[in-house]
Amino acid sequence: MKHYAAVLLFALSAAAFADGVRNTYTPYRFAAVEQWEVKASGNPGASRLSGKTWTVDFTHGAEWVSLVPADRVVLGDPVGFRLRLRGGAKGHPVHVYLSTHFMTFHKIAGELAGAGDQELAFDAPPGPDWQWFEGENDGKIHGPIRLGEIRLESGGIRDRFDLEMLSVAVETASPADHLCVMTARTDDSNGHTVFTAEPRCLGTAPLAGTLRWALRTWNGEQISSGTRQVSVPPEARPEPIRISAPALSPDLKFLEAEFALEIPGQEIPVVQTCWVASPPPHTDDQLRPESPFGMGVYLARFKGADQERTARVAREAGVKWSREDFEWPVVEPERGRFDWTFHENLIATARRDGISVYAIVSGWPSWTEPYSIKGIDDWVRFLKALVGHFKSDVHQWEIWNEPNIFFWQGPKDMYATLLIRSYQAIKEADPSAEVLGISTAGIDYNFIARTMALDAPFDILTIHPYRKVFDDRVFINELKAVSNLAQRDNGRRRPVWLTEMGWSTYTPSNTAKQDFAPTTLRENAQLLARSYLSSIVSGVEPRTFWYDFRNDGDDPLYFENEMGIVYRDFRPKPSYAAYSTLARVLAGKRLAGPAPSPGYGTYAYRFEGKGTAIAMWNPYEDTVIEVKAGDIVNTIGEVRHVPAAGGPLRLQLKRGAPVYLLLP
């Protein structure tokens, strides 16, 4: 019997990408490694994906059934998509969802028309007939495109059928000198460390070039290097190139592999990957609300054993606080029906590992009227119930996320109304609770001043001081300035918490620009340590919450997936070691004030308590410090002992990399 392949053409607007070389590649073949999930509205019945066979079952009342892939960036600028499938189904509308940064594009591509060849052609974002929602909500492309979902709608037909899913091919446009992208990863699962570079090329023919690699320690010592002639296959087919690490000293905690691919006529960013020794685990399982060491662990994003492991690994890093989402639509999906169980379990999981939870509350359920007085009245009733239920475990409540940008879609002054009403509701439910307010993307002085001018009360100011360039002196002064702005009428200062801050370790794609500039794994670790140190020494009584703890996905080309300090599989990045080291060095200590600077441009601060530690770093240049005695601990926890009898030791302080002197 002859089979016919149905083809759905998702053609993106060619006018948007008039320039560039056109190529086609196939990023999806419906293989298990692509991590497709089946989702449904209502009872999915027997709906499932088994191999390439998608069983769609509408007989139990589901309104739609969809396939959702793992998050993956489409290389180049997409021009057209082709979904190939085989099967006989008729009358079901086909919905396509494409994602850009925080925003989703949606379009009905047509409907399945039964057996035989089928082609559905249409313009794509930002062309006509597309809908978009969330994020910037402006119909523009913000960063790389990802295929978000393929959804079949019942269309009132209660049937069951099988489709053989074959592939999704993409036509893309790229500048002639940006046809290639390269990523790198580390594998030590078999007890031996292997560094892998993976170049991909969108051309129609192989491209020959030279791969240069080098292995370096944290202090920059090169221990190995080499070159290799390579031929990169066309159509973005991966070509892994593996370099084995030599035997490593037991004292070594870090090894960086850097890969540079030289292909005539192509510009390909240099990439790095690292091996990091797991630091000794922190074992403290007691709550320490006085600790400044927070983290966006976001346990609400995980379930069951995965959630428990995430909390445990966070505790082992030294995390003592977590910022957790309490989304209104999740907690009260229907008016008056509350589902407390998930968050009760989340809090219990965090407490077992000594992590205090503070709640960020946001979102509008479908049954209320968003951004209206009626909606705020409903919000107040919900908030009283929420705070009353959790008041024995949660003592800090943050009202909304980044209302100065697109996360708040209503009038900006209405946020002040929400904060006023929220403050009253929280204090009625729990007079001892603290209200965290304003929560701006960046340090938005104007939005903070405007909200305060509208008499919106709050106990703690929260900010998200992301930045492309980190200047320690500027950062410290900005924290002091916003602390002054947030003073109460009586002149008393409010604490300032940094409830999001971080940098991404993503690899740039070959075309699309992204909101965050990428940092190397080494730079990321240095920036984390300096961010926490700078916030502490600024004197604003901070809790700092790096965004975030665990990578949100596996694709290294999308910046949101690479914000974590551990990979999705919990392997540590250097930033994990930097966090663990700083939390261990400062555990049980308080800032005692500046220490004598060992040189121009070098920061030095003394911490006292369980022993004495002096943190030192120079953001501007390499310098030399003199150590008379003690233990020198570098950013990632490598230790060097300086005996008092041996005389002073001259030690090079690498630019941007903090070290800690532990005094005897």
The span from the CA of 87 to the CA of 344, in Å, is: 45
**Does residue 10 carry a pLDDT above 60?**
no
Say how many C-beta atoms besides its own lie within 10 A of residue 661's C-beta: 24
Angle at the Cα of 479 from the Cα atoms of 474 and 485, rounded to 5 degrees:
125
- Of 108-122, 155-169, 485-499, 559-573, least confident by mean pLDDT is 108-122
308 CB burial (10 A radius; 0-12, 13-18, 19+):
middle
CATH topology assigned to domain 592-663 = Immunoglobulin-like (2.60.40)
CATH 2.60.40.1180 domain range(s) in the chain: 592-663
pLDDT, residue 536, reads: 98
**Which of the pair, 20 or 449, is modelled with greater confidence?**
449
- Of 192-201, 241-250, 373-382, least confident by mean pLDDT is 241-250
pLDDT, residue 22, reads: 93
Q: What is the pTM of this model?
A: 0.94
- Of 114-128, 198-212, 564-578, least confident by mean pLDDT is 114-128
pLDDT, residue 17, reads: 40
pLDDT, residue 20, reads: 80
pLDDT, residue 489, reads: 84
Residues 224-236 have a mean pLDDT of 96
**Does residue 4 carry a pLDDT above 70?**
no
Residues 224-231 have a mean pLDDT of 96
CB 459 within 8 A of CB 398: no
pLDDT confidence band for 13 (50 / 70 / 90): very low
CA atoms within 13 A on the CB side of 253: 22
**Does residue 5 carry a pLDDT above 70?**
no
pLDDT, residue 124, reads: 64
* Alpha-helix runs per DSSP H in 460-573: 472-485, 521-537
CATH topology assigned to domain 180-276 = Immunoglobulin-like (2.60.40)
Residues 561-565 have a mean pLDDT of 97
CATH 2.60.40.10 domain range(s) in the chain: 180-276
Coil vs helix vs strand at 67 = strand
The encoded tokens of residue 4 equal: 């016919």
The encoded tokens of residue 399 equal: 């009202």
pLDDT, residue 19, reads: 59
**Does residue 617 carry a pLDDT above 90?**
yes
CATH number of 293-587: 3.20.20.80
pLDDT, residue 627, reads: 86
CB 505 within 8 A of CB 573: yes
Architecture of domain 5-174: Sandwich (2.60)
Residue 608: strand pairing partners: 590, 612
CB 580 within 8 A of CB 282: yes
pLDDT, residue 397, reads: 98
The span from the CA of 543 to the CA of 8, in Å, is: 51
Average pLDDT along the chain:
93
Query: CA-CA distances (angstroms) from residue 252 to 594, 634, 640?
Result: 31, 12, 11
Contacts of residue 184, Cβ cutoff 8 Å, sequence gap at least 6: 195, 196, 197, 198, 257, 259, 271, 272, 273, 507
Measure CA 612 to chain center: 34
CATH 3.20.20.80 domain range(s) in the chain: 293-587
Q: Provide, rounded to the nearest whole percent, the portion of the chain with pLDDT above 90.
A: 83
State residue 413 phi and psi, 5-degree precision: -65, -20
Per residue in 454-473, pLDDT (tens digit) is 999 999 999 999 999 999 99
- Of 59-73, 126-140, 302-316, least confident by mean pLDDT is 126-140
The span from the CA of 314 to the CA of 299, in Å, is: 10
**Does residue 611 carry a pLDDT above 60?**
yes
The encoded tokens of residue 520 equal: 């190397």
404 CB burial (10 A radius; 0-12, 13-18, 19+):
buried
Contacts of residue 549, Cβ cutoff 8 Å, sequence gap at least 6: 295, 296, 297, 298, 310, 314, 317, 319, 322, 564, 565, 566
Per residue in 259-296, pLDDT (tens digit) is 999 999 999 999 999 999 999 999 999 999 999 999 99
- Of 14-18, 225-229, 433-437, 559-563, least confident by mean pLDDT is 14-18
- Of 212-216, 431-435, 569-573, 648-652, least confident by mean pLDDT is 648-652
pLDDT, residue 649, reads: 82
Coil vs helix vs strand at 379 = helix
pLDDT confidence band for 516 (50 / 70 / 90): confident
The span from the CA of 120 to the CA of 110, in Å, is: 6
Q: Which of 11-15, 118-122, 313-317 has the highest mean pLDDT?
A: 313-317
pLDDT confidence band for 425 (50 / 70 / 90): very high
Residues 167-173 have a mean pLDDT of 92
